[in-house]
Amino acid sequence: MFLRSRGSLSFAVTILPAVLLILLALLPRPALGAAGVGLLVVDGAIGPASADYIVRGIARSAQNGDQLVILQMDTPGGLDTSMRSVIKAILTAPLPVATFVAPGGARAASAGTYILYASHIAAMAPGTNLGAATPVEVGIGPQPPQQPSDPVRRPGPGGAEDAKKPRDGADGPLSGSALTRKQVNDAAAYLRSLAQLRGRNADWAERAVREAVSLSANEALQQDVIEYVAADVPDLLAQLDGQAATVLGQEKRLATRGAAVNPFAADWRTNVLGAITNPGVALLLMTIGVYGLLFEFMNPGFVAPGVIGAICLLLGLYALQLLPVNYAGLALIALGLLFMVGEAFLPSFGVLGLGGVVAFIAGALMLIDTELPGYGVPPGLVAGLGLVSFLLVTGTVRLALKTRRRPVTSGAASFIGAEARVEDVAPGGMEAWVRLDGELWKAIGTAPLRRAQAVRVVARSGLVLKVAPIDTQQGAST
């Protein structure tokens, strides 16, 4: 009996570990401590601030050991330089990046389409759209209308129109100036290369650039533009569980079901950069900087206007070098501010000042000449700054005119008509020393002078005053 019990115990000790290992293997992998998922949220135009936020967010997720970064995006477009910096960060990221156009009603237009195509995983929420990727650059102006000679599009697989356009864009709907064609062709080739890199619909990508077409979420899924349609981030993570993504030539298997989501919120650096790279704020900072330095130069020793002005001017110039600036507009702004500063020092009686106000307003309206949403200078701000500048110029002119009509109170001319008192008289009474404003002056009288007599200065020759007795003048006038 003892031997049988011992044999049963030995069997249990041998079998139980194997059973436990099998059960552990069947458990969901997230329960065993799967790596987390980074979450970046971009809501607005792609600019220097949002690009810096995305690049730093991807780097931070890689440092934290996250298995995936989700870029939740709702954008109308953005700047080409900022978009390309984001795409470079995605293409060189050591972990997969999933661009998710969400929530419902969001869009990934223009620059957002390029970023979505560059991502390892592309997903959209129901009720969202992407496309309209035609580049809108500074100074291009309105695009020419579609030419009637465009070739007829042939239906492609699934009923979708197949874009068989000439690649050079000569007969495309956006064919216009040589500069426009170059930019459109460059953008089309760039987006097509991203589509080929990720195995997505390259023909539709080219149409999005040349014809500014858009797709809904379901249509994008049907045409192989995206891989997933998900209601929210948890739904997307559930669909991605067990899927593979190729990162820098290596396949990485995702275990995202129930994985911890680590959001990366925008910090003070992103907020400050986003504030100063607003074209209106940049213009305001530059204007405050110039006026602050002007007031400091006019009133040396105040210190505060100079310090504030220098800081604002440097911040404004830093913001402008990050933005697509029209240099003709910037030159007009600088010329206008220079004219308004010159009004305070030159006797132009308003001509320089008014010309400066006109040049400033024209330059401000031309400063950011782009149709990108969120990257224009508000006309109301331009009108307000122009009005403030006009009031400053008007005040300067009025002050100059009022000063011009005042009698001279300093210098040689201020001695004429001043009263003095005789301190000492030379023999003969025609020469004397008189005290004027606490100083002794040699004087020659128009009549004999006597000690302690009150006299009035009628002329000056070098260091010698010509004086007349006040009582003699009164007597003569009587």
pLDDT in tens, 129-183: 999 888 865 333 344 444 433 433 433 433 344 444 444 444 444 445 777 788 8
Residue 406 has pLDDT above 80, yes or no: no
Residue 368 has pLDDT above 80, yes or no: no
Conformation bin of residue 249: beta by default, left when phi > 0, alpha when psi is -120 to 50: left
pLDDT in tens, 411-462: 666 678 888 999 989 888 888 999 988 888 999 988 888 888 999 998 888 8
Q: CATH assignment of 18-268, given 2.120.10.30, 3.50.50.60, 3.90.226.10, 3.40.50.10860? A: 3.90.226.10
Euclidean distance between CA atoms 43 and 62, whole angstroms = 23
Amino acid (1-letter code) at residue 344: A
Strand pairing class (154-155; 161-162): antiparallel
State the span(s) of the chain assigned CATH 3.90.226.10: 18-268
3 state SS for 227-261: CEECCCHHHHHHHHCCCEEEECCEEEECCCCCCCE
Cα–chain-centroid distance for residue 105?
Answer: 26
Strand pairing class (37-43; 68-74): parallel
Which string of b and e fits 136-149 if b means at least 16 CB within 10 Å?
bbbebeebeeeeee
Residue 470 has pLDDT above 90, yes or no: no
Nearest to 417 by CA among 463, 473, 462: 473
State the span(s) of the chain assigned CATH 2.40.50.140: 412-477
- Indicate the pLDDT class of residue 34, thresholds 50, 70 and 90: low
Q: Which CATH fold would you assign to the domain 412-477?
A: OB fold (Dihydrolipoamide Acetyltransferase, E2P) (2.40.50)
Euclidean distance between CA atoms 380 and 391, whole angstroms = 16
Euclidean distance between CA atoms 199 and 119, whole angstroms = 11
**Structural contact between residues 288 and 297, judged by C-beta atoms closer than 8 angstroms:** no
Nearest to 158 by CA among 225, 231, 239, 230: 225
What does the longest C-alpha to C-alpha distance in the chain come to? 159
Euclidean distance between CA atoms 361 and 384, whole angstroms = 10
pTM of the shown model: 0.67
Residue 42 has pLDDT above 90, yes or no: yes
Give ∠ CA 61-63-68 in degrees, rounded to 5.
35
Which tops the pLDDT comparison, 91 or 258? 91
- Indicate the pLDDT class of residue 348, thresholds 50, 70 and 90: low
Tokens 């331009």, residue?
A: 382
Write down the pLDDT at residue 446.
87
